[in-house]
Amino acid sequence: MSLFWQECKMNFKTMLVWALCVGGVCLGCLLLYDSLGESVEGMSDIFANMGAFSEALGMDRVSIGTLEGYYAVEISMLLSLGGALYGAMLGAGLVAKEEEGKTYEFLNAMPLGRARILAQKYGAFVALLAVFHGICICLILFGFAWMGSMPAMGNFATYHGAACLMCIEIGTICFLLSVLCRKRPVGAAVGIAVMLYMMDLMCRVVPALDKVKYLTPFCYSNAADIFSGGEKSEWLWGIGLGAVVLGAALGMSFVIYKRKDLM
């Protein structure tokens, strides 16, 4: 497990910075809720009647007039997008950095084998993302407690579980990219995360793209859908397809890395 711990250690600072930034912004927005005062209630009605835009952001189902609704519509978006970007960049760097920094010779001369190298790196990736979400959840719960209004814990846990899985899925796709590349594909990773987010928004706005929404992991990690108790079967479809994509990307990573010429 030495490689696992080393990867965790090497990426810990970056993870902490991301978690404190994303979690901190979420906390800050929660604490700002009271200062918005009565204007939120007025805005709630306006936002709920903005047609496709309201549907895309889930404002037609959840009211931002409550702290929970405000969290589900506004704040969760920051966490989902921030987490997806962090997951993508983390996944993209883990394997390709060895060839980019020429450290693959040091690592691959050790009696580990490629499958173990990849398994320990992926383990570190999942652990780091879990800690990232743990820190964010702690900060968000602190914000709710400070405001004196806790969210429905079942929905809250479901959303964060789904958001964590979404980050892992996007990160795993970028992990596969990292196996394929000889240099860290950071630009491509950020592009993938943003593209999948935009795709989710588009699918919610354009009815013709309704079925395509399952291709993006943001479809099952939408807080407004979860907090409004949306269609369960659709959500399960999204999760199922996400698990398939994750498994396929991970499997391909192992197959490709085992055969790859390292240079």
Partner 1 sequence: MNAMEMIKLTKTYGKNRGIQNITLAVEEGDIFGYLGPNGAGKSTSIRCMLGMISAASGEAYMLGSRVGERHFVEVLNRVGYMPSEAHFYPSMRAGDVIKYAARLRGMDCEKEAKRLCQVLEVNCNKKIRELSLGNRKKVSIVCALQHKPDLVILDEPTSGLDPLMQEAFFELLMERNREGMTCFLSSHVLSEVKRYCRHVGILREGELVKVDTVENLTRTRLHALRKIKIYGVAEVPQIEGISEIAQWDDALTFSYQGEMTDLLRALQGQKVKDLLISEPSLEEVFMYFYQ
Query: Does residue number 262 form part of the binding site for partner 1 (CB under 8 A)?
Result: yes
**Residue number, 68 or 98, with CB nearest to partner 1:** 98
Burial of 121 (0-12, 13-18, 19+ CB in 10 A): buried
Cβ atoms of 106 and 199 within 8 Å: the answer is no
What count of other Cβ atoms lies within 10 Å of the Cβ of residue 33?
Answer: 20
Q: How many residues bind partner 1 (CB under 8 A)?
A: 21
Q: Distance (Å, rounded) from C-alpha 150 to C-alpha 140?
A: 10
**Residue number, 116 or 212, with CB nearest to partner 1:** 116
Query: Does residue number 208 form part of the binding site for partner 1 (CB under 8 A)?
Result: no
Query: Does residue number 257 form part of the binding site for partner 1 (CB under 8 A)?
Result: no
Taking the alpha carbons at both ends of the chain, their separation in whole angstroms is 25
Query: Does residue number 198 form part of the binding site for partner 1 (CB under 8 A)?
Result: no
**Residue number, 103 or 149, with CB nearest to partner 1:** 103
Subset of residues 56 to 115 that bind partner 1, contact rule: CB under 8 A: 101-113
Q: Distance (Å, rounded) from C-alpha 123 to C-alpha 222?
A: 26
Of the candidates 10, 32, 50, 243, which one interacts with partner 1 according to CB under 8 A? 10
Query: Does residue number 125 form part of the binding site for partner 1 (CB under 8 A)?
Result: no
Query: Does residue number 6 form part of the binding site for partner 1 (CB under 8 A)?
Result: yes
What count of other Cβ atoms lies within 10 Å of the Cβ of residue 110?
Answer: 11
To partner 1, the closest distance from the beta carbon of 6 in angstroms equals 6
**Residue number, 56 or 92, with CB nearest to partner 1:** 92
Burial of 236 (0-12, 13-18, 19+ CB in 10 A): exposed
Binding site for partner 1 (CB under 8 A): 2-3, 6, 10, 101-113, 259, 261-263
